[in-house]
């Protein structure tokens, strides 16, 4: 192999001898890809089509030893490093230009021990992989709502979805993690082993190392849930949102209801005359007895005069994949989000006004209903601090044509700014695009300083910087 010019941590270049790259390849169980290899373009492609980066090297790992070798190679050559799990992150931090990508996607093992209700999950697994194995035993770990999402990034940044109110965030159910740190050591992090690292991993993202295995607490659940959609004309949105807000004040932890506002896709249960028109959708899930669920959802389903109500018993694995067709890879995406402690009338007015200016048929606003068990955890118990937020709004600009990039981005930014006065000030790091580096400190609030201290302890070189990075570490280390 010829020598290669690769991007360094300082965004300069270094020439790495071809023999050194061949030596790295020879010691791996996995493979090293470079531009021109048959699998290179597939390995560098991720969910958000706006991200088009060309790494110098991609190390496709099959186990922890490969990760150790890749981390050591990157550190010794001071290479820019990105870590790819599921490749679903909106900011595109799974790939970098000219540097080295540590690709964990081949590592997909999910092992369940039903007797002790535990699962050991490798970082390349998706939510669908996890659900498939855990639901085979009537067990579950709470995750997100799009089954193609990677479990690694979701967990490290938080993880909330349909059953969070009952069982907590994904990170709240993490019992331990195996982590390759910047010095190439494999550490175990838990409440009793490297507890500071464990604290940071639960919400601090990929700042501290590469997780090669997650151990999760499982819960008895399923296989069926009461779930589905109630679709309203958007003309009724303000009234529906006010009644929705009131209904959730008395909702049990078993009930979650999210709002989606967009142009109606051609769903088979919607009359054809509504396809392409603006609608408000109440998407709900009750994780408990089905008859109790009918009672608990009654008030929400009685709101207004819906176009359609398709709430009923569904396999949980199917419901988890229900939004997948609207969130497929290959589209251009830009997100802006806020946390809210309440949905004030002013916030509702701002959100509903924005729907009249949708820049494209796939653009949408969703409001996630959280709280419950996840809100009973102290803000400083994990790195994830947003425990008092009852709602998360994601402004999801999604489109296909590069020509309307600016229009879609401007729409998302405009709504974000208009809603800012009514928001909590924190943010869900998994929803933050790559241009929000100045928002990281606010996202972590009172936990930020402790995160910096842990970062300095485990990654003083800031090798792991392709993430929602704790950037002040550079200043702190210099001081």
Range 410-430 average pLDDT? 95
Range 355-367 average pLDDT? 95
* pLDDT for res 39: 96
Residue pair 367/415 in contact (Cβ under 8 Å)? The answer is no
Q: Which domains does the chain have, with CATH numbers?
A: 4-103 (3.30.43.10), 110-220 (3.30.465.10), 224-437 (3.40.462.20)
Give the strand pairing for 100-103 and 81-84.
Answer: parallel
Lowest-confidence pick of 98-102, 167-171, 254-258, 422-426: 422-426
Give the count of beta carbons closer than 10 Å to the beta carbon of residue 245: 20
Token digits of residue 173: 């159910």
> Is residue 301 classed exposed, middle or buried when 0-12, 13-18 and 19+ CB atoms within 10 A define those classes?
middle
Element (H, E) at 413: helix 405-419
* pLDDT for res 476: 47
Percentage of the chain with pLDDT > 70? 98
pLDDT digits (tens, 9 = 90+) for 317-334: 999 999 999 999 999 999
* pLDDT for res 152: 98
Q: State yes or no: pLDDT of 283 exceeds 50.
A: yes
pLDDT digits (tens, 9 = 90+) for 385-403: 999 888 999 999 999 999 9
Give the count of beta carbons closer than 10 Å to the beta carbon of residue 432: 22
pLDDT digits (tens, 9 = 90+) for 180-237: 999 999 999 999 999 999 999 999 999 999 999 999 999 999 899 999 999 999 999 9
Output 438 or 209, whichever has higher pLDDT: 209
| Phi, psi for 434 (deg, rounded to 5) | -70, -15
pLDDT digits (tens, 9 = 90+) for 173-191: 999 999 999 999 999 999 9
CA distance 55 to 94: 10
Q: pTM here?
A: 0.95
pLDDT digits (tens, 9 = 90+) for 15-26: 999 999 999 999
Contacts of 475 (CB under 8 A, 6+ apart): none
Give the strand pairing for 364-369 and 255-263.
Answer: antiparallel
Range 107-123 average pLDDT? 98
Contacts of 395 (CB under 8 A, 6+ apart): 335, 336, 337, 354, 365, 411, 412, 415, 416
Round the average pLDDT of the chain to a whole number and report it: 95
Give the count of beta carbons closer than 10 Å to the beta carbon of residue 12: 11
Helix axes 18-27, 64-76, angle to 10 degrees: 160
Range 57-76 average pLDDT? 98
Q: State yes or no: pLDDT of 471 exceeds 90.
A: no
* pLDDT for res 421: 96
* pLDDT for res 73: 98
Q: State yes or no: pLDDT of 5 exceeds 60.
A: yes
Token digits of residue 39: 């699998």
């Amino acid at each position: 192999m010829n020598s290669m010019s690769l991007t360094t941590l300082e965004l300069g270049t270094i020439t790495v001898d071809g023999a050194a790259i061949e030596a790295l390849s020879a010691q791996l169980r996995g493979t090293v890809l470079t531009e021109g290899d048959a699998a290179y373009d597939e390995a560098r492609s991720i969910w958000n089509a706006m991200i088009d980066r060309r790494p110098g090297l991609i190390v496709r790992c099959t186990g922890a030893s490969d990760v150790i070798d890749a981390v050591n190679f990157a550190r010794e050559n001071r290479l820019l490093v990105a870590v790819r799990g599921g490749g679903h992150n909106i900011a595109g931090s799974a790939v970098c230009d000219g540097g080295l990508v540590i690709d964990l996607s081949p590592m997909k093992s999910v092992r369940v021990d039903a007797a002790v209700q535990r699962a050991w999950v490798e970082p390349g697994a998706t939510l669908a992989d996890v659900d498939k194995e855990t639901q085979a035993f009537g067990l579950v770990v709470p995750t997100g709502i799009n089954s193609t999402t990677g479990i690694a990034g979701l967990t490290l940044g938080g993880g909330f979805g349909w059953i969070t109110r009952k069982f907590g965030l994904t990170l709240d159910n993490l019992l331990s993690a195996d982590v390759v740190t910047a010095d190439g050591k494999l550490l175990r992090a838990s409440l009793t082993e490297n507890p500071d690292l464990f604290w940071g991993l639960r919400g601090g993202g990929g700042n501290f190392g590469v997780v090669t295995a997650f151990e999760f607490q499982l819960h008895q659940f399923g296989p069926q849930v009461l779930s589905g959609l109630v679709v309203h004309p958007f003309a009724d949105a303000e009234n529906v949102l006010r009644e929705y807000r009131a209904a959730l004040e008395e909702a049990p932890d078993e009930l979650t209801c999210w709002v989606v506002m967009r142009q109606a896709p051609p769903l088979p249960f919607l009359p054809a005359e509504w396809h392409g028109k603006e609608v408000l959708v109440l998407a709900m899930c009750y994780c408990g007895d089905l008859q109790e669920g009918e009672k608990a959802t009654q008030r929400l389903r009685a709101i207004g005069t819906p176009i359609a109500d398709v709430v009923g018993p569904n396999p949980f694995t199917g419901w988890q994949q229900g939004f997948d067709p609207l969130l497929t890879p290959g589209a251009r995406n830009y997100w802006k989000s806020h946390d809210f402690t309440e949905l004030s009338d002013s916030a509702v007015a701002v959100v509903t006004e924005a729907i009249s200016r949708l820049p494209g048929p796939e653009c949408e606003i969703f409001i996630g209903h959280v709280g419950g068990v996840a809100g009973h955890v102290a803000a400083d118990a994990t790195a994830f601090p947003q425990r008092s937020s009852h709602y998360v709004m994601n402004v999801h600009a999604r489109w296909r044509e590069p020509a309307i990039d600016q229009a879609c981005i401007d729409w998302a930014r405009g709504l974000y700014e208009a809603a800012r006065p009514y928001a909590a000030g924190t943010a869900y790091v998994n929803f933050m695009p790559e241009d929000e580096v100045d928002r990281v400190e606010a996202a972590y609030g009172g936990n930020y300083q402790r995160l910096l201290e842990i970062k300095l302890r485990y990654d003083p070189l800031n090798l792991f910087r392709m993430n929602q990075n704790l950037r002040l570490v550079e200043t702190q280390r210099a001081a």
